[in-house]
Amino acid sequence: MVESNSSRSSTDRSAPEPIAVDVARAVVTDSLRGIPLDATHVTVSKTVVPPHGSTGWHYHVGPVLVLVAEGTLTHTFADGSTDTVGAGSCFVEPHGPENAHVGVNPAAVPLVLHAVYFLPDATSPLAVPVPAPN
């Protein structure tokens, strides 16, 4: 079938092709268990933590898939344990007040994180601030 120019649809071959741009890539360093398959509210964000800056103590109301695009992230958890994750890695942050943590950028360059938040509803905050543990 031959189409005339006047009857071409939005899938016309002369229309511009969609453009996909990689924002960041990473290797999964942890299991992705804990990501709900039935999530209905998802938010994607980019966070830039300045040199020697901090996220402040907080927890998430749903699990968060985090990709470290640039820099190094040092996590400290309420139990005093820490872990360090470098650029090109991704992991899942668990949710709930029992998983309070702080993210610190120990370097003299910005830390860039991309995160996918799996939220229980449309009004859920991305993070809930909490005081630092004693």
What is the pLDDT tens value at each position of the chain, 134 positions in all? 444 444 444 555 677 776 667 676 666 655 566 666 666 788 899 999 999 999 999 999 999 999 999 999 999 999 999 999 999 998 989 899 999 999 999 999 999 999 999 888 888 899 999 999 97
For the domain made up of 23-122, give the CATH fold: Jelly Rolls (2.60.120)
- The three-class DSSP label of residue 6 is helix
Contacts of 61 (CB under 8 A, 6+ apart): 95, 96, 119, 120, 124, 125, 128
Q: Are strands 27-28 and 89-93 parallel, antiparallel or unpaired?
A: parallel
Report if pTM > 0.85.
no
